[in-house]
Amino acid sequence: MANDDARGRREPRYREVADTLIGEISAGQVAVGDRLPGELELTQRFGVSRHTVREALRLLEQLGMVGRRPGVGTVVRNDTAPVSTQHRLVSINEFLRYPGETRLHMRGSALLTLDAGQAELLHCPEGEQRLRLSGVRRCIDDGMAICWTEVYLLPAYGAIAGMIGQDARPVYQLIEERFGEHPRHIEVQLGAAQMTDEQARALDVPEGSSSLRVVRRYRNAGDRLYEVSVTDHPADRITYTLGFHPDPTQPAIGD
């Protein structure tokens, strides 16, 4: 239990890497205009995956401390971190997809008749049948588990189960390529949840850990809900940054 508690309090690894680099830049060990070491060198130095290094560099870029230059690499732009993070506007495609260096590894499948709780979560009628595919998304290079995913499909689309995880294509794209079903409307819902025992064991986190739950619902041109994915992320393994360009013609929103 002591090890679990310590792990639960630990800063995300990418934040530790980012904080170290920020400290070195602020101390002048890496000057403005200098290039940071490459991803491979940083992975070897810190003993982390490329995914972790990229998340650390992404944070420094959001802080305005570094920038990417084609053919050059990551270059220091500022030696002082701002008080607040500069958020970027992301497209729906960026919001829906995971990094290409990850894969979804399926662990099981079951044909369900939805009960009241499942129907409420999925926004489907109670008693409707859905094929549930469950698995863990992992980094390719070091096998680190990122999240637990459950995908609920119309049973007619069950043939894609064997295709999931073979490459970086998301499930809705596999359905589109195999069956010609194109998403007309996509809804993304974020909220807090609690890891089940099975999820906690698969993700190597303490039982009962909190998670960031992302529910994605895909509807076709006839407004039929044909896919729902429910993904639970341990708090230290996911970061969503949303940015908006204010419309000066509209009233201000927020504090």
SS (H, E, C) 209-245: CEEEEEEEEEECCCCCEEEEEEEEEEHHHCCCCCCCC
3-state class of 175 per DSSP? helix
Q: Where are the alpha helices (DSSP H) in the chain?
A: 2-9, 13-26, 39-46, 50-62, 92-96, 116-122, 171-179, 197-203
Which CATH number applies to 92-237: 3.40.50.2000, 3.40.1410.10, 3.40.250.10, 3.20.20.70? 3.40.1410.10
List CB contacts of 201: < 8 A, sequence separation 6 or more.
none
Q: What pLDDT does residue 88 have?
A: 37
Cβ atoms within 10 A of the Cβ of 58, count? 17
- CATH 3.40.1410.10 maps onto the chain at 92-237
**In this structure, which amino acid lies at residue 33?**
G
Of 188, 209, 212, 214, residue with least CA distance to 199: 209
Residues 93, 248: Cα–Cα separation, whole Å: 26
Residues 110, 184: Cα–Cα separation, whole Å: 27
List CB contacts of 126: < 8 A, sequence separation 6 or more.
114, 115, 116, 119
Q: What pLDDT does residue 247 have?
A: 60
Q: What pLDDT does residue 23 have?
A: 87
List CB contacts of 160: < 8 A, sequence separation 6 or more.
153, 171, 174, 175, 178
- CATH 1.10.10.10 maps onto the chain at 2-76
Q: What pLDDT does residue 85 have?
A: 30
Q: What is the CATH number of domain 2-76?
A: 1.10.10.10
Q: What pLDDT does residue 243 have?
A: 56
**What sign has the CA pseudo-torsion 202, 203, 206, 207?**
negative
Q: What pLDDT does residue 208 have?
A: 85
Asked if residues 45 and 37 have their Cβ atoms less than 8 Å apart, the reply is yes
Cβ atoms within 10 A of the Cβ of 234, count? 24
Could you give the count of Cα atoms lying within 13 Å of 206 in the half-sphere of its Cβ? 15
**In this structure, which amino acid lies at residue 6?**
A
Q: For residue 69, what is the enclosing H or E element?
A: strand 66-69
Q: What pLDDT does residue 252 have?
A: 54
Q: What pLDDT does residue 91 have?
A: 46
Q: What pLDDT does residue 119 have?
A: 94
Asked if residues 174 and 161 have their Cβ atoms less than 8 Å apart, the reply is no
Q: What pLDDT does residue 106 have?
A: 92
Per-residue pLDDT of the chain (255 residues; tens, 9 = 90+): 334 443 443 557 888 898 899 989 988 898 999 999 999 999 999 998 888 898 889 888 878 899 888 888 899 998 876 543 333 334 445 455 565 678 899 999 999 999 999 999 999 999 999 999 999 998 887 788 889 999 999 999 999 999 998 888 889 999 999 999 999 999 989 899 999 999 999 998 888 889 999 999 999 988 899 999 999 998 767 766 655 556 666 565 555
Q: What pLDDT does residue 240 have?
A: 64
Q: What pLDDT does residue 28 have?
A: 87
Q: Where are the alpha helices (DSSP H) in 152-211?
A: 171-179, 197-203
Q: What pLDDT does residue 82 have?
A: 55
